[in-house]
Structure 1
Amino acid sequence: MKISGSRIILECLKEKGVDTIFGYPGGAVIPLYDALYDELDYFNHIRTCHEQHMVHAADAYARSTGKTGVVIATSGPGATNTITGIATAYMDSVPMVVITGQVPNMLIGKDSFQEVDITGMTLSITKHNYLCRDIKNLAHTIREAMDVAASGRPGPVLVDVPKDVFLAEYEYERTEEPVYVEEKVYVEKASLERAAELINKSKKPVLYAGGGVRISKNDALMIELIEKVEIPTVNSFMGFGTIPRDHRLSLGLVGMHGQIHANLAVTNCDLLIAVGARFSDRVIGKPDQFAPNAKIIHIDIDSTEIDKNTQDCVPLIGDMKYILENLLEMVDEAKRPEWLEELEGMKREEPDKTLFTPKNILEKTNEYYSDNTIVTTDVGQHQMWTGQYWKFKKSNEFCTSGGLGTMGYGLGAAIGAQVGNPDKEVLLITGDASFRMNHNELITVNRYRLPIKMIELNNHSLGMVRQWQRMFSDARYSETDTFDDVDGKMFLESYGIKYYLAETMEELEFALKESAHLRTTVFIECLIDHDESVFPIVPPGRPINELLLNG
């Protein structure tokens, strides 16, 4: 049967199991929204206040559900407003399809009203993108975009559709067969045997778990491996939850703001097994002094990551499930009491829990939320403190901008996580500077009655930048203080949000007791010291064992 291009898009999304769309209407996508008008019994459409935040919402929807996020934006400024969100998803390998409207074919290339070359602009931040100028190719393009976004190493895909293609009609036949299947790569047995031999001979191994473990859903296999061979494990930010933080082999965060014992474990190990991790600069510090005594095994699906930031690793490129299953069979069971005891001796004493510090605030908050709470953050000091102190148990519990470091990510992400997981608790941990970038989305939270809980660590500054200015720029605080006369209570309550102010642990505990399990939106503003800092910190360009504990 012949149907419009707009209906073809919606039918293809149905084929792929899509039932939730994050979007914002505009001139070029009016035909698509006209078709959507008849499909609102099937599709749950979420309209945010700004296109950037709807992409962040689709991003966290994808991370927390394992589904592909779908976004609709109009041409011109609507499309360009999606760029930061697309780049955020690209850096963290999040499956997403962004459908943008474009001016009609006859106006492309003529500097028409709201015309931009969005495919050209996003070429370097998408896994693939398309300008679909012919109705004949539309169904195949949408199907392929959905398949490409979710296959292999996932990522965002953009499809730009001229307005006349939305309106044109063409034959449509439903199919559920994939049009694109990324061929799985299987590692040669000799490579697996070499890796297993290295593991069996190792005395001080460490496993470095990244986001690829979460994306490939191989958490359980990885844990089975480390328990059989007794390998202590560190996480990148993207890898949090792949091993429960309270597991006896979990060492926590590694890198610039990593726990002391985690960084020292990597520095002193004789074998580092990287699983689905990309050795970012924030993890490795000075490359030639990272894990200096260790042989490195690098397990990844993306060959371009091999030896990008390291040298002479043993590469195991391909399907992670296949690799881990084979290693599990090949390695010998082992116990490493001396190595674990050495690492235990590297841990620091706990500070006073009565002080109103970020550590104590987050650990106390953690006590009031269930193990399957989804935590989203913005970017800055509060993000690092969350990584250091929150006891993540599962790998889909944490949504944060790791690779791009996008301030303003958190509230949109909380919206998407709550939409995708209506029966779970969603907690946003934010800072006052990041919250300024996205608080307009409180309107969205209110509109859809989303019971998101929010904790703001308010130090009246751009905290991380200010810390760096103090430590590395002679305390020349240039444009980082934010002492503005805003009444937080009036501001939050104007959105219909329950508000609490906490300046002591007693006030925080009162707010948590009263609000933690309410099915309504709650905001707790925690006023912390202006000079609270994230420690440990590894100065830029230094090896990760050279941690500063104060400064």
Structure 2
Amino acid sequence: MNGARWLVQALVAEGVDTLFGYPGGAIMPFYDALHGAQLKHVLVRHEQGAAFAANGYARASGRVGVCVATSGPGASNLVTGIADAMLDSVPMVIITGQVATPLMGTDAFQELDVFGMTMPIVKHSFLPRRVDELPRIVAEAFRIARSGRPGPVLIDLPKDVQIGDASHLPLHIPLDVDDAPPPKDASLHAALALISQAQRPVLYGGGGIALGDAVQAFRTFVDATQIPTVLTLKGLGALPSSHPLNLGMLGMHGSRAANLAVQEADLLIVVGARFDDRATGKLAEFAPNARVVHMDLDACEIGKLRHADAGVCGDIRRTLTALTLPCAAHLHGRNGAARRAWRATCQQRAREFAARYDAPGETVYAPALLKQLSELAPESVVACDVGQHQMWVAQHWRFAHPRQHLTSGALGAMGFGLPAAIGAQLQDPDANVVCVSGDGSFLMNVQELATLRRYGLPVKIVLLDNQALGMVRQWQELFFEKRYSEIDLSDNPDFGAIAAAFGVQAFHVDRADGVGGALQALLDAKGPALLHVAIDTAANVWPLVPPNHNNAQMLDPDLDSGAERPRTSVSTPDEDPRHAIPA
């Protein structure tokens, strides 16, 4: 029983059943210990794939994802996936090999200061120097990853600790996760007072709803109070897309109904959201007439970007449960007529500005394809890459639960989709998992097709190919006077041939009248399959709130509304949209 073998049994005791990794020199004792163990190790083809797969596993299941790599380049290749987990609050434990302790600091072969390199992008880091430290470190790593606002925790494991004698160590016992603190009565009373006075309230739900296991409590609150609701990218699915009070996503590519409601609200009830810049637009002009009730488990988020007139820190589920009946009683009494008129206005806008799918022409219209696929496979888990297709999925897929939507939100990491889909499929072999990717994103981790094929994972890939870096191209069109710089992907390879080379069945569609049959063929395929979809290079995502504008100033050439239209080029430095970076 050496340190590596003790670690393997500790992972089993923590409830880990699957881990994702790639072996190498400094982590080899751990891989030797895995041989014959009951843990399922998934060999990815690049360490970034391991981090994103563990990330997708954790997002879809709510459990801790685990990935493993060797020292040096193995560890550095994990960094993007670790950062993504940190910024989107995903529970992960990352195990990296490290050179033996006597060699640390000597620039030994494949030595990197992984502890220091990852410090800004983890909740906590551990570097055990002796075998005796392993029980405390492993237990703490999993407790920290799960507790409070979840996140990634690193264990950088020197080789001599892995091979050291561990026969004297006790069997591993996991630590209990700290209960989320309840909200304070005074904060609940303050929130109730504001909610009872509101005439134009809007619920603004974010990713903290799913993280706090508060989806049902949130839906009960919406149904009881009948408050119009908007959701962030990570909050999608907290209220079903079909719910009559769901106005859609807010923000840069949010729905017109959602953005107008927020801008005209007199009260924002913010639940597990953090006023991200992509949601708020120009922060100084965001919801200018609204007071704010902010509910969040993380005290650091309350008041960080927008003053909270009532901050409710604590367990979101218990907060919503405590407020549901009192809020419903108040809202259906005083100011009831004004709130009913407000609700009717919001719902009328949702109908008036609902997306249309009757695009003219013979080419494939991506929003219509995605809507149709979501209706054909309504229970699917969708792992999405980053770009125009990511926003189309957010706008047009009909999500029933937040854990059905896996997307790189705060980091916006291309290459996320395919390995995240692998992780989602492995956490539930019976799940219908769809990866939606673009031609730019797909080639970043295309090697994971080999992982799909090796493990026979029935992930279905929809590859939207516009032969460009679409979102960057759209920004260059609108804000850089059509100076198209380094976005041309017209020399893309034959994606069908690539899939076939990996042993993955492939289909192709380039006409609107072929979409239905192509989607059905994809879903009916046994095992992994790819649908290559050729779309118009010039297609843009609408609506769009330009940078340094408020959310009521939406660009959308397809709608003729009375909303104020911003200038597409400006002269003052404070408003120059070129100061923003597209994602």
* TM-score category of the 2 structures, normalised to the smaller one: over 0.9
Alignment partner of 1:422 is 2:429 = yes
Q: Secondary structure at the match of 2:109?
A: coil
Alignment partner of 1:368 is 2:364 = no
Q: Measured at CA, do residues 253 and 349 of structure 1 come closer, stay the same or move farther in structure 2, by a change above 3 Å?
A: closer
Equivalent residues in 2 for 1:457-496 (5 A)?
Answer: 457-484=464-491, 486-496=493-503
Among candidates 51, 62, 67, match of residue 66 of structure 1: 62
Equivalent residues in 2 for 1:18-417 (5 A)?
Answer: 18-39=16-37, 42-170=38-166, 171-178=168-175, 181-182=177-178, 184-333=180-329, 334=332, 336-346=339-349, 347-348=352-353, 350-353=355-358, 355=360, 356-369=364-377, 371-417=378-424
Equivalent residue for 1:5?
3
Q: Deviations over 1:132-173 (max 9, x none)?
A: 111110121011101100110000000001000000013222
Q: CA RMSD in A?
A: 1.4
Alignment partner of 1:443 is 2:440 = no
Using the alignment, how far apart are the partners of 1:100 and 1:457 within structure 2? 35
Q: Deviations over 1:364-408 (max 9, x none)?
A: 212211x32100100000000100000000121010100000000
Tell me whether 57-66 or 516-525 shows the greater mean CA deviation. Answer: 516-525
Tell me whether 181-190 or 119-128 shows the greater mean CA deviation. Answer: 181-190
Q: Secondary structure at the match of 2:536?
A: coil
Aligned partner of 1:161: which letter? L
Q: Deviations over 1:266-319 (max 9, x none)?
A: 111111111111111101111111111111111111111112211243211111
Q: Measured at CA, do residues 379 and 352 of structure 1 come closer, stay the same or move farther in structure 2, by a change above 3 Å?
A: closer
Aligned partner of 2:298: which letter? D
Is contact 2:114–2:156 with CA below 8 Å preserved after alignment?
Answer: yes
Q: Secondary structure at the match of 1:238?
A: coil
Using the alignment, how far apart are the partners of 1:504 and 1:265 within structure 2? 37
Q: Deviations over 1:14-66 (max 9, x none)?
A: 11111111111100011111111030xx1111010000111100001001111
Aligned partner of 2:376: which letter? Y
Among candidates 500, 511, 521, match of residue 514 of structure 1: 521
Q: Secondary structure at the match of 2:318?
A: helix
Q: Deviations over 1:438-470 (max 9, x none)?
A: 111111111111111111111100000000001
Deviation, 1:203, is: 1.4
Aligned partner of 2:529: which letter? V
Q: Deviations over 1:339-370 (max 9, x none)?
A: 1221133232553526421211111212211x
Tell me whether 282-291 or 349-358 shows the greater mean CA deviation. Answer: 349-358
Q: Secondary structure at the match of 2:95?
A: strand
Is contact 2:50–2:68 with CA below 8 Å preserved after alignment?
Answer: no
Deviation, 1:517, is: 3.5
Using the alignment, how far apart are the partners of 2:186 and 2:165 within structure 1? 55
TM-score (norm 2): 0.91
Q: Secondary structure at the match of 1:383?
A: helix
Q: Measured at CA, do residues 378 and 51 of structure 1 come closer, stay the same or move farther in structure 2, by a change above 3 Å?
A: same
Equivalent residue for 2:543?
536
Aligned partner of 1:226: which letter? V
Is contact 1:430–1:457 with CA below 8 Å preserved after alignment?
Answer: yes
Identity of aligned residues (%): 41
Is contact 1:430–1:456 with CA below 8 Å preserved after alignment?
Answer: yes
Equivalent residue for 2:564?
none
Q: Measured at CA, do residues 84 and 237 of structure 1 come closer, stay the same or move farther in structure 2, by a change above 3 Å?
A: same
Is contact 2:507–2:522 with CA below 8 Å preserved after alignment?
Answer: no
Q: Measured at CA, do residues 352 and 235 of structure 1 come closer, stay the same or move farther in structure 2, by a change above 3 Å?
A: closer
Q: Secondary structure at the match of 1:532?
A: coil
Q: Secondary structure at the match of 2:464?
A: strand
Using the alignment, how far apart are the partners of 2:356 and 2:452 within structure 1? 36
Tell me whether 300-309 or 85-94 shows the greater mean CA deviation. Answer: 300-309
Tell me whether 167-176 or 291-300 shows the greater mean CA deviation. Answer: 167-176
Extract unaligned runs of 5+ from structure 1: none
Q: Secondary structure at the match of 1:345?
A: helix
Tell me whether 357-366 or 378-387 shows the greater mean CA deviation. Answer: 357-366
Using the alignment, how far apart are the partners of 1:117 and 1:175 within structure 2? 28
Tell me whether 332-341 or 290-299 shows the greater mean CA deviation. Answer: 332-341
Tell me whether 354-363 or 226-235 shows the greater mean CA deviation. Answer: 354-363
Q: Measured at CA, do residues 352 and 217 of structure 1 come closer, stay the same or move farther in structure 2, by a change above 3 Å?
A: closer
Using the alignment, how far apart are the partners of 2:25 and 2:78 within structure 1? 16
Equivalent residue for 2:574?
none
Is contact 2:371–2:397 with CA below 8 Å preserved after alignment?
Answer: yes
TM-score (norm 1): 0.96
Using the alignment, how far apart are the partners of 1:411 and 1:515 within structure 2? 16
Aligned partner of 2:483: which letter? R
Tell me whether 122-131 or 315-324 shows the greater mean CA deviation. Answer: 315-324
Using the alignment, how far apart are the partners of 2:261 and 2:142 within structure 1? 41
Q: Measured at CA, do residues 107 and 533 of structure 1 come closer, stay the same or move farther in structure 2, by a change above 3 Å?
A: same
Equivalent residue for 2:565?
none
Using the alignment, how far apart are the partners of 1:254 and 1:413 within structure 2? 25
Is contact 2:247–2:347 with CA below 8 Å preserved after alignment?
Answer: no
Is contact 2:522–2:531 with CA below 8 Å preserved after alignment?
Answer: no
Extract unaligned runs of 5+ from structure 2: 558-567, 569-583
Is contact 2:380–2:434 with CA below 8 Å preserved after alignment?
Answer: yes
Aligned partner of 1:345: which letter? Q
Aligned partner of 1:360: which letter? A
Aligned partner of 1:357: which letter? Y
Q: Secondary structure at the match of 2:234?
A: helix
Aligned partner of 1:10: which letter? V
Deviation, 1:80, is: 0.4
Q: Secondary structure at the match of 1:195?
A: helix
Using the alignment, how far apart are the partners of 2:86 and 2:13 within structure 1? 24
Is contact 2:3–2:161 with CA below 8 Å preserved after alignment?
Answer: yes
Deviation, 1:537, is: 0.6
Using the alignment, how far apart are the partners of 1:517 and 1:274 within structure 2? 41
Is contact 2:98–2:111 with CA below 8 Å preserved after alignment?
Answer: yes
